[in-house]
């Protein structure tokens, strides 16, 4: 199905199932421990052995020798494959560093061997017996030190945010110099880890030349393609199966070493092999969000209208990698006649930087939304009103291109009303409640809506039951439920008559899970397949498909009503289709918006910050399931708190690795850190987006939260911190005197 004209009324608009706050249908399996994750697929292949990855102990250099004699003699060892045994493997399309093979070490914890044994403990112990000789080379591990060598480069997160190396609109320098009110500040964000609960894990089994991977992966079609390319086998000989993913946040968008080494180990041992990366390897061997140094310059007239905006960002990555696209939202979020954005990349020898929890906008807005608050203060304007004053209904750099929907002003106004913003004291450091300095902060939320081709197969059987098959993944976001709701709405059956099968590369390729694109596109693909199925049912019954109604398990036309099962017959009916997009995305800018409000308390003596309450007001098209959408948003808000207050990978700048590379040392919010969170969805549909009239929502709940927290801390204390995370050591020496 080609979607190239705005959606009109269709069966989804009935809202009998779609739009209802239904419980997740996979919930009972998740809560009873019966949803099998990749490492737990004991049923997948018989006689599984255990693999353990030996990772490089240097950050840059070469492996000159590996002595595996003792390890091969160790009890239970079945096979050992080292990086010196294998020529450097082809890189997948999405990989920056090589995942295995050859002597060169590009980053710390790069995989250099896999040991296969009868038990996990035997494999781990044997790996420790391997003696490795290295020729260490000096590396570049400090972004601040390398920033002066950073080069202008284009950036594309692959998730809807991107920018050319340098982009100019109007005369920024002239407008900035002439403005009566201006701001020029630098902000930094640190390296961060995905910290998903489920580590990267894979079970691999060979049947002749055919390889099956039961793995944890967000993008099945990408994974299948890159496994085939990396191992040099035909794509038709590769199958990936990933029905449940225990969190990915971008870290499982791409092929990683667990899948490659499980496959190599299984081939060497002649047995299925299960393998999981250790926590330190998840941090250092896979990907992370790279640190940024961001300079923002804003200029405005006395009336508060922005006349010049510049956002420049420096980040680092391995040679061949790309920048964090932190300036992308600044190209679209606020009006302003004169504009400059620039991306610079410094080559570093740290582990690969790549997509993590809203790449681009998440760290970019941590800077931009603080700068907007600072500018509002210089202008003597309320921060909410300053943002509203500089709203735009079209792409500021392409005025002929309007937003398909843009309700940022409504988000901010409703949020201010619900949060009690009028009671905020604009003068910082004035509100005290016992030992706590209390403040409120606001930030806009922004995330683009990305359209991606997505397919599905739908079966109707003689019992009137519907089965949906698509390689879409459920990474804890509720894909099973909204896909079932879509099929139920389209085919006129109750939810319990729909079965959903996900995550298998033998199914039609979907959009996959990432970049907040999964829900809208995957359900639109199911919509397309259901339209074809409805047409086939009508054709078989001799009905006019335009007049046929699918209601209560029947198909009706005129005076006739036939049960769906009877229409399907004993052989059933199968339909397969995909959603494809035309030129609408070029004619309209498609984005999602939010107003984020946060109240904090800062201990007047210690500088400890506690979140007191949070509110997000979101405009993101039709909300397919308000209950699961709320869960996504409050989860994202929690991640925003983590980025603002605690998340930071500490870099050993001598040896080039992340020191706090486990869940004990890498701090993330826990339940005690997060108080009441409120989420409001504006009543919105976007017929430009898809037949579902929906857009993404998950990452919108994150983008802007860090800035709102920082602004609340300033309002509470009068201390402006521009270097994240805002830990108490950055506050304690500057706190107001305790009276």
Cβ atoms of residues 233 and 90 within 8 Å: no
Answer yes or no: 566 catalytic: no
In terms of C-beta density within 10 A (0-12 exposed, 13-18 middle, 19 or more buried), how is residue 85 classed?
Answer: middle
CB-side exposure of 196: number of CA atoms within 13 Å?
A: 28
> At residue 280, what are phi and psi to the nearest 5 degrees?
-60, -35
CB within 8 A of 407, min separation 6: which ones? 593, 619, 682, 684
Cβ atoms of residues 85 and 94 within 8 Å: no
Nearest to 457 by CA among 374, 602, 574, 287: 574
CB within 8 A of 737, min separation 6: which ones? none
DSSP class of residue 558?
A: T
> At residue 172, what are phi and psi to the nearest 5 degrees?
-65, -50
**CA 135-139-145 angle, 5° bins:** 165
Residue bearing tokens 């693909």: 525
CA distance readout (Å), 510 to 219, 263, 470, 527: 8, 24, 6, 12
Residue bearing tokens 């308390």: 601
CA–CA gap between residue 110 and residue 297 (Å, rounded): 39
What is the DSSP code string of 498-520?
A: EEEEESBTTSPP---S-TT-HHH
CA–CA gap between residue 551 and residue 565 (Å, rounded): 13
> At residue 236, what are phi and psi to the nearest 5 degrees?
-70, -10
Cβ atoms of residues 583 and 573 within 8 Å: no
CA–CA gap between residue 252 and residue 240 (Å, rounded): 13
CA–CA gap between residue 159 and residue 591 (Å, rounded): 12
Q: Which of 90, 699, 733, 737 is catalytic?
A: 699
- Following CA atoms 365, 366, 367, 372 in sequence, which dihedral angle do they give, to the nearest 10 degrees? 70
Angle between helical axes of 257-269 and 220-231 (0-180°, round to 10): 50
> At residue 65, what are phi and psi to the nearest 5 degrees?
-160, 150
- Backbone Cα Rg of the chain: 27
Nearest to 454 by CA among 382, 515, 364: 515
List active site positions. Answer: 699
């Amino acid at each position: 199905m080609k979607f190239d004209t705005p959606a009109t009324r269709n069966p989804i608009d009935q809202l009998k199932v779609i739009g209802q706050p239904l419980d997740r249908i996979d919930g009972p399996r998740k809560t009873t421990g019966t949803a099998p994750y990749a490492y737990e697929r004991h049923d997948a292949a018989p006689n599984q052995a255990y693999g353990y990855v030996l990772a490089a102990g240097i950050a840059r250099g070469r492996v000159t020798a590996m002595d595996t004699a003792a390890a091969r003699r160790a009890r239970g060892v079945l096979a050992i494959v080292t990086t010196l045994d294998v020529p450097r493997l082809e890189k997948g399309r999405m990989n920056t560093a090589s995942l295995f093979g050859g002597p060169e070490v590009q980053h710390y914890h790069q995989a250099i061997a896999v040991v296969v044994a009868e038990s996990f403990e035997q494999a781990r112990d044997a790996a420790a017996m391997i003696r490795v000789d290295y020729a260490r080379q000096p590396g570049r591990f400090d972004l601040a030190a390398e920033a002066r060598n950073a080069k202008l480069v284009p950036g594309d997160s692959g998730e809807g945010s991107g920018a050319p190396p340098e982009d100019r609109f109007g005369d920024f320098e002239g407008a900035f110099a002439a403005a009566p009110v201006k701001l020029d500040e630098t902000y930094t964000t640190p390296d961060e880890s995905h910290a998903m609960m489920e580590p990267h894990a894979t079970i691999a089994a060979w049947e002749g030349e055919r390889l099956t991977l039961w793995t944890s992966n967000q993008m099945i079609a990408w994974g299948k393609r890159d496994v085939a390319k990396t191992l040099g086998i035909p794509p038709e000989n590769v199958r990936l199966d990933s029905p449940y993913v225990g969190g990915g946040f971008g870290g499982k968008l791409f092929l990683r070493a667990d899948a490659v080494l499980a496959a190599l180990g299984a081939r060497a041992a002649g047995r299925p092999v299960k393998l999981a990366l250790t926590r330190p390897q998840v941090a250092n061997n896979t990907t992370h969000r790279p640190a940024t140094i961001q300079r923002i310059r804003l200029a405005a007239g006395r009336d508060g209208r922005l006349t010049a905006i510049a956002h420049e960002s420096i980040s680092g990555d391995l040679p061949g990698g790309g920048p964090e696209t932190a300036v992308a939202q600044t190209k679209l979020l606020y009006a302003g006649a004169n504009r400059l954005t620039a991306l610079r990349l410094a080559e570093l020898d740290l582990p690969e930087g790549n997509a993590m929890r809203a790449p681009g906008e998440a760290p970019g807005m941590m800077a931009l939304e603080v700068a907007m608050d600072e500018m509002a203060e210089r202008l003597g304007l309320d921060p909410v009103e300053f943002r509203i004053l500089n709203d735009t209904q079209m792409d500021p750099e392409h005025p002929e291109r309007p937003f398909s929907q843009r309700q940022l002003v409504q988000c901010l106004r409703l949020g201010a009303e619900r949060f009690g913003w009028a009671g905020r004291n604009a003068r910082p450091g004035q509100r005290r409640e016992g030992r706590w300095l209390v403040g409120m902060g606001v930030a806009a939320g922004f995330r683009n809506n990305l359209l991606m081709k997505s397919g599905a197969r739908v079966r109707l059987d003689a019992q009137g039951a519907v089965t949906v098959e698509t390689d879409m993944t459920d990474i804890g976001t509720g894909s099973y439920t909204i896909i079932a709701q879509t099929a139920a709405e389209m085919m006129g059956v109750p939810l319990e008559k729909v079965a959903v099968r996900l995550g298998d590369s033998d199914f039609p390729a979907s959009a996959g899970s990432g970049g907040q694109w999964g829900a809208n596109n995957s359900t639109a693909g199911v919509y397309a397949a259901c339209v074809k199925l409805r047409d086939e049912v009508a054709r078989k019954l001799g009905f006019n498909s335009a007049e046929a109604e699918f209601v209560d398990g029947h198909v009706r036309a005129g005076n006739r009503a036939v049960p769906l099962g009877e229409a399907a017959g004993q052989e059933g009916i199968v339909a397969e289709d995909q959603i494809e997009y035309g030129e609408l995305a070029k004619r309209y800018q498609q984005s999602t918006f939010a107003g984020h409000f946060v109240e904090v308390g800062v201990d007047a003596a210690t500088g400890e910050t506690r979140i007191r309450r949070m509110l997000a007001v979101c405009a993101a098209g039709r909300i397919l399931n308000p209950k699961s959408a709320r869960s996504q948003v409050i989860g994202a808000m929690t991640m925003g708190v983590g980025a603002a207050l605690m998340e930071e990978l500490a870099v050993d700048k001598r040896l080039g690795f992340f020191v706090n590379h486990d869940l004990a040392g890498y701090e993330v919010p826990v339940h005690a850190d997060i108080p009441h969170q409120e989420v409001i969805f504006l009543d919105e549909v976007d017929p430009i987006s898809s037949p579902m009239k929906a857009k993404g929502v998950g990452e919108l709940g994150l983008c802007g939260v860090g800035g709102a927290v920082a602004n609340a801390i300033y309002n509470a204390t009068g201390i402006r911190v521009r270097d994240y995370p805002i830990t108490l050591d950055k506050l304690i020496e500057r706190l107001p005197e305790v009276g």
